Amino acid sequence: MTTSQAFSEFLENIKVDNSETISNRYHEITKKLNKTFRDTDSETDNCLRVGSYGRYTGIKGISDLDMLYIMPSSKWDEYKNDPDKLLKDVKTALKERYPNTKIKDDRLVVDVFFKDFKFEVQPVFEEQDGDETNYKFPDTKYDSYRITKPRQEQAEMTTFRQEHGDTHRLLCKMMRSWKNNVGQAIGGLLIDTLAHRFLSDHSEYDHAGTSVFDELCRDFFKYLKNEPKQDHYQALGSGQDVKVKKPFQVKAKKAYNKSVEAIGESDEVKRNDLWREIFGHQFPKATTAVAESREFSSTASYTDPEQFIEDLYPVDIRYNVKLDCEVKRNGFREAMLSHILSSGQRVSRVRSLDFILNTDVPWPYDVKWKVRNVGDEAKRRNCLRGEIIDSNRRGGLVRHESADFRGPHYVECYIMKDGIVVARDKINVPIE
């Protein structure tokens, strides 16, 4: 498998695969709001698809669909002094359309929770600023209206694509896969903005093919790791502030180092495995590894039950979580796993392990886990594990395990909110 083939397959694997369902929901919501506020049946008029999906940078498992509904200008006097009433009236209309669906008005939008994704419906009033079309949206926290400029952002995406090719859009997609795999809280608009800034100064990637996408990703990670820390950027096209949720430099540096190693690796299996560490299991295994795995599966003395969270739930990392572990002996805590790892030591066998987390995800939420055993002893005992499982201690927030046998094991945790993975972390558990 060549580099070009690997990245082409990767991009195919992360393509949005439910576009028809998403489009149907856009049409249903638009039709209902047009009927309520204009007494028309149009499924498309007065709707603007925004966010990652509207900029064509969303990927498989996209969980937040954003839309603006453009209110009739004749309604401005009714709502200009009461933005809360605007959101509540939109909520009421959508509740009529979806009586059995969870719908709530938030500070800025009305959230509609479908099975596999959430729609954030934002009613807006159009205004002209010279040649530009902007939109006033309600902010109920301050009982006022603010300005958003999505058309300018979309226009810049379109212009940049016409002049430089598809590289920007595809890089944005790959970086979403990276952030969801490593648990980096970074918004989609910030990804698109940073990729735009990078490519504006790297014309060598104009109209680039997948054969150089390994170098493209390496250079972009280098750009990210070297960016000075700041709390916001100006969005492409609109120039509006876009917030940095959490500094991305540390995880970008790790990705850069792995990408350098991958590019320098002559062994196809090792090379693809390194890219999988960066982007997740949507990046394909080497052709030889797949063939060997199939041949071995018929004679192996063990089974591999590993599951991947991306195959079970939508993943959209928006928050932060830090995983650690209390290492105990005879009921008494010996040390925290993070301290053991930082000192270069390993966990002794016959220890009790309580995996705990610290997160900024607002309550309520659920926690899922993956406990993965690695090494010859795990294979010999047919105990690789890797299933997605629940907590088993302290009100559903802690996973209790034991250090039974040697090997470079690891544990992952996933914070679930409204059926979506919004934070994740991983910690290695080397047992001697």
In a domain, 403, yes or no: yes
From residue 55, give the alpha-carbon distance in Å to each of 50, 153, 160, 165, 180. Answer: 7, 8, 12, 15, 19
Q: Is 110 helix (H, G, I), strand (E, B) or coil?
A: strand
**Please, where are the H alpha helices in 183-212?**
188-200
Encoding tokens for residue 278?
């960066």
What is the Cα–Cα distance from 430 to 418, expressed in whole angstroms?
33
In a domain, 163, yes or no: no
Structural domain harbouring 404:
303-431
- Per residue in 224-255, pLDDT tens? 999 999 999 999 999 999 999 999 999 999 99
Q: Any idea what the CATH number is for the domain that residue 356 is in?
A: 2.60.40
What is the Cα–Cα distance from 150 to 132, expressed in whole angstroms?
11
Query: Low-confidence residues of the chain, pLDDT below 50?
Result: 296
- How many residues make up the chain in this entry? 432
Q: What number of H helices and E strands is found in the chain? A: 15, 17
Note whether 86 and 191 are same-domain residues.
no
In a domain, 367, yes or no: yes
CA 73 to chain centre: 36
Check residue 89 and give its pLDDT.
Answer: 98
Q: Any idea what the CATH number is for the domain that residue 142 is in?
A: 3.30.460.90
In a domain, 155, yes or no: no
Check residue 1 and give its pLDDT.
Answer: 87
What is the side-by-side order of every strand in the sheet holding 420-431? Answer: 385-390, 366-372, 407-417, 420-431
Number of domains observed in the structure of the chain:
3
Longest Cα–Cα distance of the chain, Å, equals 74
Note whether 45 and 139 are same-domain residues.
yes
Note whether 142 and 222 are same-domain residues.
no
In a domain, 275, yes or no: yes
In a domain, 1, yes or no: no
In a domain, 168, yes or no: no
Check residue 248 and give its pLDDT.
Answer: 97
Note whether 193 and 245 are same-domain residues.
yes
Note whether 104 and 62 are same-domain residues.
yes
Give first-to-last CA distance, the chain, whole Å: 37
Note whether 347 and 263 are same-domain residues.
no
Note whether 374 and 261 are same-domain residues.
no
Element (H, E) at 97: helix 83-97
Q: How many C-beta atoms lie closer than 10 Å to residue 2's C-beta?
A: 11
